[in-house]
Each structure stands twice: as C-alpha cells, then as structure tokens.
Amino acid sequence: MITEYAYAKINLALEVMDVKDGYHMVNNLMVPIDLYDELTFEESNKIELINNEFEDNIILKAAKLFIERYHINKGVKITLKKNIPSAAGLAGGSSDGAAALRGLNKMFDNVATHDEMLEMAAILGSDVPFFIDSEIALCTNRGEVVNKLDVKPFVFDILLIKPETGLSTKEVYKNYIYEKVDKSEKIKNIINAIKYCDIFSLKKNIFNDLTKTALNLSTELNLIYQDLENRTEIYLSGSGPTMFLIKPDDKIVDYIKNKYKNCFVKKCKIKK
C-alpha cells in the first residue's frame, strides 16, 4: 500500500490581473501548511475512489488521465481521508489531484518524469502543478507555471477560520474587477521578509486581490472578517472563504473559538 499526503496552502500574495484566453493572469505566492488529506493506493481491477463525496472528483480524473496516458492495464483503489475543508480557498481539491498523480507514479514504477507530472497536473487545474512538489513558489500565468523560490519559509503558527458557507472560485473570479495596480514591489517585500524571517514585514505586505470581491459575495464572511480586522491582522486565502491569522496570541484564539463555534477553526504551521 502507498500513502500520499495532500497538503493545503495559503496565499501570501495573490495578484489577479486581466483575462487572457479565458483565464485571469495571476502572480500567486503560495506556501504549503501542515494540514493535509491522506490518500492510500492499492492495485485493483478498476479505478475506484473510497470515501468520495463528489461525483466529479479530481482524484478520479487524475487516475484516469494517468492510467490512460501510460496504457496501464491495471486499476487502482484509492482511499481518501479528508481533513481539508472543501470550497475553502485552501486548494484541497487541487492538492488531492497532485497527490493522486504522485501516488500512481510510485505505484507504477515512476513511469512519468517530473515534467510530465507537471504537464498532467496543469491539465487537471491551474493550482495542481504547485502541489506536485508542495514547496513555496510564485505561480504565474493562470497559476500553472511554478517558479520555486530560492528561500526556505521559516515556520510560524497560523490560525485558519472558515465560515460555514463556502464560496465558488468561479463566482469570485467572475465578479472580480482588475484595478490595474502593480503589486510587484509588495511581492518582493514578502519574499525578503521570508528570507530574513521578518514577521513584521511579512504581515505588513501580505495581500489578496480577491478579498474585496469575496467579502461582497458572502455576508457571513464579511461580518466575521470585519469583526476580526478590528482586533488583529487578518488575511483571506485564495478565493475564500477561509481567513488566516499569523502568530495569533492566545487571547484572540480563545475569542474566535468561543464566538464562532460554527466555523472550522484550526491552528496549523507553515510546512517545513
């Protein structure tokens, strides 16, 4: 049996620009966190996914793509243990898809090269290539071009807060209006903050261009965000609705856990 871990991510920078060929161009600085789904793989006479909550699951798409591409005459049984909340802006689905490709490649004697893995990942979705290696990177174009950073992220605590109501990534991008403000300097500042372990500068420069749109689309998210913004620095991950705090103190953690009992609230760390 083979086991793969599909790590979630947060965005330290998400610059969203004009649409090209039907996709928004982005500069997306992502870092993995130590919250993960667990996938196990066993040979089978068909392609099947155990504990599947969705009809159109990216794990099944990945398995079919891999097995058809390499003309494999066997199937696979994949068991999914889901820990990352869905429709959360943490890219759990994209990470699952990449983990499925990695697990299948191990199962079938590493038949795919690293470049081929990235190519298949890009077919599955814009964020999937990042999770082939799950290392801090600036992802560009529509998000599928992975530019690994020559820095190692320092480990710090984060607190995730996800409201009950999810948000559609498609809907958030559809309603987003590009304000044509260049964010390259902020991205440089974030990379330098990571390089020099400067938590103050990191907090000051983190940004997400989708925040305003996501807040406008979700009353629940907006109410929680405004409440917490008055108390501490708060950031949105991806297209939302998950928010995160960096190095939160015990007082604010207790406040959130007591006030927002219906939210998914979890303390995590940046993945080493």
Alpha helix ranges (H) inside the chain: 58-69, 92-107, 114-124, 130-133, 169-175, 184-195, 199-205, 211-217, 219-229, 250-259
Give just the sign of the alpha carbon dihedral 15, 172, 216, 9.
negative
SS3 16: strand
Helix orientation angle between 114-124 and 92-107, rounded to the nearest 10 degrees:
140
- CA–CA gap between residue 120 and residue 122 (Å, rounded): 5
User: What is the separation of C-alpha 208 from the centre of its chain, rounded to a whole number of angstroms?
Assistant: 13
Question: CA separation (Å) from 133 to 166, 220, 265?
Answer: 27, 34, 26
Q: Please give the DSSP secondary-structure letter assigned to residue 268.
A: E
Instruction: Based on the residue annotation, tell me whether 271 is a catalytic residue of this protein.
Output: no
Please tell me which residue in 9, 186, 266, 271 is annotated as part of the active site: 9
Please tell me which residue in 37, 96, 127, 209 is annotated as part of the active site: 127
- CA–CA gap between residue 58 and residue 125 (Å, rounded): 9
- CA–CA gap between residue 214 and residue 71 (Å, rounded): 42
Instruction: Based on the residue annotation, tell me whether 227 is a catalytic residue of this protein.
Output: no
Catalytic machinery residues: 9, 127
